[in-house]
Structure 1
Amino acid sequence: MTTHSEEKIVVLVNGIPASGKSTLTRALAEQFGLPVLTLDGLKEPFMASFAPVDRQRNRQLGCAAYQAIWNVVAQAPTRCIYIIDAWFGFQPREVLQQGLQKANVTRVLELWLAITPDDAVTRYQSRLTDRMPGHPGAEYLPELRKLAETAQPMGLGPVLQLDARDPDEAAAFAWLQRQLRVPIAAQPALSASG
């Protein structure tokens, strides 16, 4: 039997671009004192080094950063809990499952930021001038709108859905605190089939 101290847990802060992942991630990290890995945090130094970056190169760097996240988690001790901020739906679900297996993750917790298409477009558009060159620009807005209509959480473990318009941080803190106290035997097992 696996004991609580032998667990390797990741907390996925998931949502489409402009859903508020970074803000929630910072609040969770401060509240719980947990380390954070972000897709943009790993990708953007390379974007700066290899500028100019087009959409194809941005995607390649995103895929490499995604793999780097699982390499870091794999090297961490089992008792280390990472908060991971990313739009996990940019890759097939199987890629996430492979990364979790590679990193020997035993439990996945997910906070999903649900956002309406209108809110996603408005937020993304308002941040265009603040984004590092190489991220998609205004041409991405129609694609983002369609994405907001269909995007779903990954659902590989317990999921807390939050309204991106006004995420209830207190509810997120309470939910995560409860989840972190649940022993692994009470959690559904991770499997390759989902």
Structure 2
Amino acid sequence: MRRAVLVNGVPASGKSTLSRNIVRGLVAAGVPAVPLGLDTVKEGLFAHIGTGDREHNRMLGRASYHAIFNSIAGFPDRLLPVIDAWHGFQPADVLREHLARARIDRAVEIWVTIAPALAAERYRSRSAARHAGHLPASYADELYQLAQRARPMALGPVIEVDGAAPMPPDIPMRILVALGIEARDGE
């Protein structure tokens, strides 16, 4: 059985930090976890394809998302991908198709909650230091609205985590239980 962890939440919710901590926790539990981040792939595309308008940004986001799941399709079953992305930027059917193509039978979703005002504040404060291909600081106003209505994809078990707080130490074990994986001695 192939499994995956979907770290989901609006931009600036804390997904990337949480993903790094989840991977560390899973590896410490003896599970070979592999981090995959939408922005990591997208920034590689910016470097070689270039930046552009909002539609160009969205196109590179879709391409990055597709590339992540194509990569997972080639992974050995024992590797557990931890996918850091705002999965709600595409319809649920797109995610279902990607999961099927990657032969993922079971996914647990880590839903990162964030107050709309905090998401907007974080986005504004980090925008100057991010790659120029990302949406500008002015996106924070739209993000505020998005954060008010965003919900998990809920294609499997959902574990909710507060993006404004440190990761609860039991999250890696809760993930393993939700995926039916036994922890092994850390490596």
Q: TM-score, normalised by structure 1?
A: 0.86
- Find runs of 4+ consecutive structure 1 residues off by over 3 angstroms: 180-183
Identity of aligned residues (%): 42
Which residue is 2:91 aligned to? 92
Which residue is 1:146 aligned to? 145
Which residue is 2:123 aligned to? 124
* Mapped pair 1:8 → 2:7: no
Give the number of equivalent residue pairs: 177
CA contact (8 A) 2:8 2:85 kept: yes
In 2: Cα distance, 1:52 partner to 1:14 partner: 24
How much has 1:135 moved relative to structure 2?
0.5
In 2: Cα distance, 1:23 partner to 1:169 partner: 13
How much has 1:129 moved relative to structure 2?
1.1
For residues 20-65 of structure 1, give each alpha carbon's deviation from its aligned partner in whole angstroms, at most 9, with x where no partner exists: 0110111111121211111111110111223343221111110001
How much has 1:167 moved relative to structure 2?
4.1
Unaligned ranges ≥5, structure 2: 28-32, 183-187
In 1: Cα distance, 2:170 partner to 2:8 partner: 16
In 1: Cα distance, 2:100 partner to 2:146 partner: 27
CA contact (8 A) 1:24 1:169 kept: no
In 2: Cα distance, 1:165 partner to 1:122 partner: 12
How much has 1:90 moved relative to structure 2?
0.4
How much has 1:182 moved relative to structure 2?
5.4
Aligned partner of 2:17: which letter? T
Q: Cα gap change, 1:54/1:120 in structure 2, threshold over 3 Å: closer, same or farther?
A: same
CA contact (8 A) 2:107 2:179 kept: no
How much has 1:165 moved relative to structure 2?
1.1
Unaligned ranges ≥5, structure 1: 1-6, 184-194
Aligned partner of 1:12: which letter? L
Aligned partner of 1:102: which letter? R
In 1: Cα distance, 2:66 partner to 2:50 partner: 21
How much has 1:117 moved relative to structure 2?
0.8
Which residue is 1:67 aligned to? 66
In 2: Cα distance, 1:136 partner to 1:147 partner: 14
How much has 1:134 moved relative to structure 2?
1.2
* Mapped pair 1:32 → 2:26: yes
In 2: Cα distance, 1:21 partner to 1:120 partner: 11
Q: What is the aligned-residue RMSD (CA, Å)?
A: 1.5
Q: TM-score, normalised by structure 2?
A: 0.89
